[in-house]
Amino acid sequence: MKHIAPKPTGLAGRRRWAAVALLASVGALGCRGSTPSTRHYTLVTPDEKPPLEESSAPAPGRMTGPVLVIEDFSADAAYVDLRMAYRTEPVRLDYYAYHQWAALPGVLVADQLRILLEQTGRFRSVTRNPTGQADAFLEGRVSRFEEVDVSADKWMGVIVLDLRLEDASTRETLASQTARAEVELTERSPAGLAWALSRGLTQIAARWGAEWAALADRGEASRSAQADQ
């Protein structure tokens, strides 16, 4: 014969049954699973920086040089997105679920490039804020900022920037180039992608920083000579 539990009587009995029902409903929700929390990533300055060329290495403690303003970077439509992009084939672009950049790629790149160029010591100042003391402006566009899955066990972080350096006074173009870096991921993960793109941007800063400083420096010297006349 099937045993039937007696109906609870009294206030204490009803409270016990209510507690049991609440625990059962919480357990049912747990079994269904909850939405994972979103994680955010940023670019960093890697410890292992590419060596500077001796001929262009700045003197320690340099307090002179041009003032560079890095303007806001734009980005191709696919990268005007907080989600982290990866590519498994040339015509397909996907995004990591629940893993995002802490800011839009154009902002991340411009902010981190300011830090990297300032650390070279070739500039008197590198800022993201417009200033009347500026000697040159650097503007750019992010045309690639993604993970590329080359094979089942090889993944690359790819960053491509269209960059233009302008004279602050005349807005004349001093330099224009497409800078590209590809760095292999140590692991296929959003964190691995953030580290690889950080190293790639560090390589770009080391590659082009000396040229940008020299061009901006010549513009500063020319303006100083004209002011002295």
pLDDT in tens, 170-222: 999 999 999 999 999 999 999 999 999 999 999 999 999 999 999 998 755 55
User: Domains of the chain (ranges plus CATH)?
Assistant: 63-228 (3.40.50.10610)
181 close to 200: Cβ distance less than 8 angstroms:
yes
The candidate with the shortest Cα–Cα distance to 86, out of 23, 166, 157, 13, is: 157
Euclidean distance between CA atoms 225 and 229, whole angstroms: 7
166 close to 174: Cβ distance less than 8 angstroms:
yes
pLDDT of residue 50: 45
Q: What is the mean pLDDT of the chain?
A: 84
- With tokens 């747990």, the residue in question is 30
pLDDT of residue 29: 44
Q: Looking at residues 136-161, what average pLDDT do you find?
A: 97
pLDDT of residue 1: 52
- Give the model's confidence band at 28: pLDDT under 50 very low, under 70 low, under 90 confident, else very high: very low
Euclidean distance between CA atoms 177 and 190, whole angstroms: 28
Q: Looking at residues 110-138, what average pLDDT do you find?
A: 95
Q: Is the pTM of this model over 0.85?
A: no
- Give the model's confidence band at 26: pLDDT under 50 very low, under 70 low, under 90 confident, else very high: very low
Euclidean distance between CA atoms 210 and 117, whole angstroms: 9
